[in-house]
A and B are shown apart, each in its own frame.
Chain A
Amino acid sequence: MPQAVTVYRWDDAGAPQIPNGKPSQILDVLTKCLVDGYGSKAPLGWTRPYYDAGVQAAVFRNNVAAGGSGGFAKFYSNTAADANNTVMRVTHAASMTGISDFFRQGNTQAFTATSGLTRWVLIGTSIGFYLTIDTNLSTLKMTGPGTYGVAMYVGDFYSAVPSDTSRFITMASFWNGAFSAPASEDSLYYMRATGDSAIRTPLKIYDADNFDAFSNYCLWLPFWGNTGGINNIVWQSEPTSPEVLMPAFVWLSSQNILSITTDRLGQIVRDSTVSPLLRGVLPGYGYSLKVGYGNTLWPFSKTISSQQHWLMRSYTAGGYTSAGAFINMEQWNDPFGNV
């Protein structure tokens, strides 16, 4: 069952705003996009089972009737204060019985809408969404130094295991697992500028049959591994040849295709039905084998195979690197045929 995608932006009519990076402003954007809608835009059909304005915390749940796992995502102010440009935390759990009562909780990560980060975009479905927040620089390019941005995925990944009970994630970083002070690499934007992501452990994912054991997973982009922040003027241009988009794998950390690691049932992870080597793919995400776009101005989207695709920015600490990660803006499809 394909999921229809809705794109929400800061410049939509009636859109909520994040002028000061306050937790209340970020929670308002999430609530309006996921639960309430705004202007002429309908919400994604999520629910908000818990909310506490006193400590700036909100819990969102994806839509079970539309194929979602019913997992829970909690966003909250790190200090409980509604301060400007302050640190937000994000975590997930299979179930919750109170705003701070988690069952099978994953990692808790962090992000900050620092000063100037006002232009938010949320691209999502009934089961998951990408949230990005970018600086208001009028000439913001797709790559470049000093242009840190927030970029995360929240929701179900498409699992290779049918009815995977643990497919709901919050991933504000593909780099670190649990952390409270976001650094420049803690954004999906850093993906293009880094080395091999397979050694990282951003995701704590419980076994697919609801057993009380977990494994560390990474977001692995094989063709981008070890081709990180190479600076060259060549990458300022847009590719003129047809795009080739690859899926991003939710992959058992630090393992390769010849792994003889076994799961808790003694099965080699290649064939595991509880913690497989290839656990799934990130929905709607495709990373290009034709990177570039360094001088392209944000925001940017292009038609690839008759569907509009949103180009994700690529942050780097210095010089030009290249961009090339796209989000499908029309429809997401489970390649495994489970959702």
Chain B
Amino acid sequence: MTHLVMFEQPGTAPLHRGIVELDIDPAAERYAVLDRRDMKPLMFGVRPTTGVVRFIVPFDYTTNNHLLFLILDDTGSPAYDVAGTDKKKADLVDAKNVGSILY
């Protein structure tokens, strides 16, 4: 069948992005990933039951160390707490072959 509208399929040239994967402590309920320079969030979410989140960030974050990861405990003792790790870099990924996005 001839397709009236033809969409060229993606070629093999990679589309570079950053990817962040976090394995979040079971005591945490929420997590946030921020750009440490301006504190703008790149992701803010609820810890999934698996504890693992995996999502795309802009390519820039694969070449610098501008990421700040935070996990938030909303139900512990004391009633709230935060832990984090700073100056992180995203992994390089081809957006055409990312695998599962989880968050």
Are B56 and A103 touching (Cβ within 8 A)?
A: no
8 A Cβ contacts from B5-33 to A: 5, 7, 9-10, 15, 17, 30
CA distance A211 to B10 in the complex (A): 22
With most chain B CB atoms within 10 A of its CB, the pick from A162, A163, A207 is A163
Q: Does A107 contact B (CB under 8 A)?
A: no
Contact of B58 (CB < 8 Å), options: A95, A211, A244, A338: A211
Are B9 and A95 touching (Cβ within 8 A)?
A: no
Are A246 and B5 touching (Cβ within 8 A)?
A: yes
Q: Does B84 contact A (CB under 8 A)?
A: no
Q: Does A337 contact B (CB under 8 A)?
A: yes
Are A337 and B10 touching (Cβ within 8 A)?
A: yes
Are B5 and A210 touching (Cβ within 8 A)?
A: no
Interface positions of A (Cβ within 8 A of B): 49, 64-65, 69-70, 95-97, 103, 161-163, 165, 207, 209-212, 244, 246-247, 273, 305, 335-338
**CB-defined A-B contacts under 8 Å, sample of 15:** A64-B101, A95-B43, A162-B15, A162-B96, A163-B17, A163-B98, A165-B56, A210-B43, A210-B56, A244-B4, A305-B1, A335-B7, A336-B10, A337-B7, A338-B96
Min Cβ gap A247→B in Å is 6
Interfacial chain B residues near A65, Cβ < 8 Å: 100
In the complex, residue of chain A having the shortest beta-carbon distance to the beta carbon of B30: A97
Interface positions of B (Cβ within 8 A of A): 1, 4-5, 7, 9-10, 15, 17, 30, 40-46, 55-59, 95-96, 98, 100-103
In the complex, residue of chain B having the shortest beta-carbon distance to the beta carbon of A72: B45
In the complex, residue of chain B having the shortest beta-carbon distance to the beta carbon of A103: B44
Contact of A209 (CB < 8 Å), options: B9, B40, B57: B57
Given contacts A64-B102, A273-B15, contact A337 B57 (CB under 8 A): no
Min Cβ gap B102→A in Å is 7
Interfacial chain A residues near B44, Cβ < 8 Å: 95, 97, 103
Interfacial chain B residues near A210, Cβ < 8 Å: 42-43, 55-58
Could you tell me the dominant secondary structure of chain A's interface residues? loop
With most chain B CB atoms within 10 A of its CB, the pick from A69, A211, A244 is A211
Min Cβ gap A224→B in Å is 15
Contact of A95 (CB < 8 Å), options: B5, B40, B45, B96: B45
In the complex, residue of chain B having the shortest beta-carbon distance to the beta carbon of A101: B44
Are A69 and B9 touching (Cβ within 8 A)?
A: no
Are A103 and B102 touching (Cβ within 8 A)?
A: no
Are A209 and B59 touching (Cβ within 8 A)?
A: yes
Interfacial chain B residues near A163, Cβ < 8 Å: 15, 17, 56, 95-96, 98, 101
In the complex, residue of chain B having the shortest beta-carbon distance to the beta carbon of A334: B7
In the complex, residue of chain A having the shortest beta-carbon distance to the beta carbon of B43: A95
Min Cβ gap A188→B in Å is 20
Given contacts A70-B103, A209-B59, A273-B15, contact A338 B10 (CB under 8 A): yes
Interfacial chain B residues near A246, Cβ < 8 Å: 4-5
Are B9 and A336 touching (Cβ within 8 A)?
A: yes
Min Cβ gap B31→A in Å is 9
CA distance A49 to B46 in the complex (A): 10
Q: What 7 A-B pairs have minimum CB-CB distances, sorted nearest first? A: A335-B7, A163-B95, A162-B95, A162-B96, A95-B45, A337-B9, A103-B44
Interfacial chain A residues near B46, Cβ < 8 Å: 49, 96-97
Min Cβ gap B11→A in Å is 11
CA distance A335 to B4 in the complex (A): 12
Min Cβ gap A108→B in Å is 19
Interfacial chain A residues near B5, Cβ < 8 Å: 246-247, 335
Min Cβ gap A91→B in Å is 16
In the complex, residue of chain A having the shortest beta-carbon distance to the beta carbon of B94: A162
CA distance A276 to B26 in the complex (A): 39
CA distance A265 to B29 in the complex (A): 35
In the complex, residue of chain A having the shortest beta-carbon distance to the beta carbon of B4: A244
Are B57 and A95 touching (Cβ within 8 A)?
A: no
